[in-house]
Amino acid sequence: MKKIKKAIIPAAGLGTRFLPATKAMPKEMLPIVDRPTIEYIVEEAIESGIEEIIIVTGKGKRAIEDHFDRNFELEDNLMKKGNFELLDKINQSSKVEIHYIRQKEPKGLGHAIWCARKFIGDEPFAVLLGDDIVQAEKPCLKQLIEQYEETELSIVGVQKVSDEETQRYGIIAPSVMKGRRYQVDTFVEKPALGTAPSNLAIMGRYILTPEIFDFLDKLETGTGNEIQLTDAIQKLNEVQVVFAYDFEGKRYDVGEKLGFVKTTIDMALKDEEIKDELMRYLIQKLEKNKLEIANFKSLY
């Protein structure tokens, strides 16, 4: 069996939901407390046993490369000050080899993955999207890799979403279920409201066999005028089983504003340095706004 050693992190999207913040800064570099979102993703890959990562970047994404590069001046400064804790923090990603490839135009997630085909070659591989951060006892990607080791077939991470949310995701039509693993009849990208075949949404973690590139090669643009990964997965599933796995853990949607703010609050409440003061602030704020809260509650 071929081991999963390589991962693709696509990061060439325009990040329009965070404009104007993302006009000159990649959305993957927006910080959750004190770490850019992409660092959480790289950390999950490392903890799942990934040895090499390729980040698909695009125009205006130089800050990502700089972030994962060594900064000798800063290291020297921290060393002289004896700040070894920070020194360790800024060099976390040196535990993995990171490569970069440019997607010249943001033609969609499917196209971004296709851009990394030469790096992947003829091996199964992982894909992690920066829009989803998962906090779990066992890293989400590791859960999927263990499923791959049982099946040696492609597998996508899914979780349940509400009826209203299904139109924002790739949705599966599940058939046979074994534990948390599903066989899938069809994969549909962003179904129109009320037409989703289930509430199981694809959540930005994938293990794919290299055969996916045969379909990405031929794919035309789909929903949103983009080359969709979900469409290629649907085609692959017609000739080679693609499973879905309802992974364990709390998923944070950092790809949109409200999700990003909620994630920041949750992560800050786990940060030893600031959690008590933040909790005090939140309680104070709630107490001050008791009347507003009562009005809000009466509305819903």
Q: Which residues make up the interface to ligand UTP (CB under 6 A)?
A: 10-17, 27, 56, 103, 106-109, 111-112, 129-131, 255
- Smallest distance from the beta carbon of 186 to ligand UTP, in angstroms? 21
| CB of 130 vs ligand UTP, minimal distance in Å | 5
Residue 18, CA distances (Å) to 3, 48, 154, 205, 278 in order = 37, 29, 32, 22, 24
Rounded to a whole number of angstroms, the minimum distance from the CB of residue 236 to ligand UTP is 19
Contacts of 26 (CB under 8 A, 6+ apart): 11, 15, 57, 60, 61, 63, 64
Phi, psi of 12 (to 5 degrees): -105, 5
Say how many CA atoms lie within 13 Å of 239 toward its Cβ: 9
CB of residue 73 vs ligand UTP: minimum separation in angstroms? 30
User: Shortest Cβ contact with ligand UTP: which residue?
Assistant: 13
Between residues 231 and 268, which has the closer beta carbon with respect to ligand UTP? 231
Rounded to an integer, what distance in angstroms lies between the CA atom of residue 157 and that of residue 132?
11
Looking at the Cβ atoms of 124 and 255, the one nearer to ligand UTP is 255
Question: Smallest distance from the beta carbon of 100 to ligand UTP, in angstroms?
Answer: 12
Report, in Å, the least distance between residue 129 CB and ligand UTP: 5
CB of 182 to ligand UTP, least distance (A): 23
Smallest gap, in angstroms, from Cβ of residue 297 to ligand UTP?
A: 32
By beta-carbon proximity to ligand UTP, the closer residue of 119 and 241 is 119
Question: Closer to ligand UTP at the Cβ: 35 or 181?
Answer: 35
Residue with smaller CB distance to ligand UTP, 115 or 200: 115
Whichever of 157 and 255 has its CB closer to ligand UTP, that residue is 255
Closer residue to ligand UTP, CB minimum distance, 21 or 79: 21
Report yes or no: 233 and 185 within 8 Å, Cβ to Cβ.
no
Burial bucket for residue 10 (CB in 10 Å: 0-12, 13-18, 19+): buried
Nearer of residues 159 and 268 to ligand UTP, judged by Cβ: 159
